[in-house]
Each structure stands twice: as C-alpha cells, then as structure tokens.
Amino acid sequence: MSAPRLWGVLAQYENPYTITRACEQVRDAGYSEWDACVPFPVHGLDRAMGLKPSKLPWIVLAVGIAGSSFALFFEAWAMGTAYPMVVGGKPLFSLPAFVPVWYEMTVLSSCVTAFLANWILNGLPRPHHPAFASKAFERVTDDKFFIMVEASDPKFDLEKTKALLTFAGATLVEELEP
C-alpha cells in the first residue's frame, strides 16, 4: 500500500492576537495557498493575510443600478406605451407613483446579488473539506482559531511549514489528508 497523500497542515491558535501574528508570519514567509478560519470576525486579519479588497461591493452596486434602471424603464414603458391609462388625471409618466416599486426592485436585486455572489466568490457550498476530518477543527465555530496551509503551495515543505506554524504560536499542528 502506498502512503496516504497529504493535503496540507492545520495549526490551532488560542486567541485573535496570536492568529493575527501567525498570519503575518505565514504571509511574510511567502506562502500563497493558505487560509485562516476563525469563529468570529477578527479586525485586521485580512490585512495580516495580505488579502486584496473584495469585489463583492462592486458587483452588488452594478446589479443594484441595473435592477433600478430596469424597474424604472419597465414602469415607464408599461404606463406610457404598453398600457397607457390616465388615472385620477395623473400624467402617464408619474415618478412619485413609481418610487415604491422602483425602490423595492433596487433593494431586491442588490440583496439577491449580495447573497449569491458571496456564495460564488467564496466557493460555497463546500460539502467536504479535508479539515472536516480533524477533531480539533470542530472548535472553529466555538473558540479556536486555525490556519491551513495546502501542500500544493510552491513553498510548502512539511517540516519547515510545521516549524513555522509552531514558532508562530500554534498549540496544535496536524497533517490533513484529502
């Protein structure tokens, strides 16, 4: 039988301060295929990891503007061209009458886009991940902080990576199999 392949290593940290410092050390060491998993948002962690700003706000803005424009165009077309009907002496294009639906279409398109784009950009849903097999990783939703370094990273060397994570303050370092 051949030895099991290695997916990477998982390191456990005890508090937000230590994981932030560890992320800075992993980033400075030149690793590119790694991630941090924390039970709650940690201020400054994205900067410590060297992450670029998210594209999500721009995607939501673009689709929100498109949804808003479509709603206003559709209302104007429906009342002015397709079904022209004078109601209570109002003009065919009555902006105040269009505002509620116009606003709701803007909000609806933005919210649905934020939800779906967030899932797509984060690669969700992910029903299986090698870290799910780790008993220690179960505490990521409670009170522990983790860094995962993938073996596919060009800088990955099992012993050096384990030593770096331990030096960075890890209380537990374990190997993950695919």
Domain segments of the chain: what residues?
8-53+126-176, 56-121
Distance, CA of 143 to CA of 140 (rounded, Å)? 6
Q: Pick the more confident residue, 86 or 141.
A: 141
SS3 assignment, position 137: helix
Q: Which residues of 94-122 are buried (b: 16+ CB within 10 A; e: fewer)?
A: eeeebeeebeebbeebbeebbeebeeeee
Mean pLDDT, rounded, for 9-32: 96
pLDDT for residue 1: 52
pLDDT, tens digit (0-9, with 9 covering 90-100), for 99-117? 999 999 999 999 999 999 9
Instruction: Give pLDDT, residue 4.
Output: 63
Measured distance CA(171)–CA(35) in Å, rounded: 17
Rounded-to-integer distance, Cα 39 and Cα 19, Å? 12
**What is the model's pLDDT at position 43?**
95
Cβ within 8 Å of residue 5, ≥6 positions away: 177, 178
pLDDT on residue 142: 92
3-state secondary structure of 134: coil
**Structural contact between residues 147 and 26, judged by C-beta atoms closer than 8 angstroms:** yes
Beta strands at 172-176 and 145-150: parallel, antiparallel or unpaired: unpaired
pLDDT at position 144 over 60: yes
pLDDT tens digits along 26-85? 999 999 999 999 999 999 999 999 999 999 999 999 999 999 999 999 999 998 899 888
Whole-number percent of the chain with pLDDT over 70: 98
Q: What is the pLDDT of residue 2?
A: 56
Q: For residues 31 and 102, what is the distance between their CA atoms, to the nearest angstrom?
A: 47
Average pLDDT of the chain to the nearest whole number: 93
Q: Per-residue pLDDT averaged across 91-100, rounded?
A: 88
Between 106 and 178, name the one with better pLDDT: 106
Q: State the burial class of residue 83 (Cβ atoms within 10 Å of its Cβ: 0-12, 13-18, 19+).
A: exposed
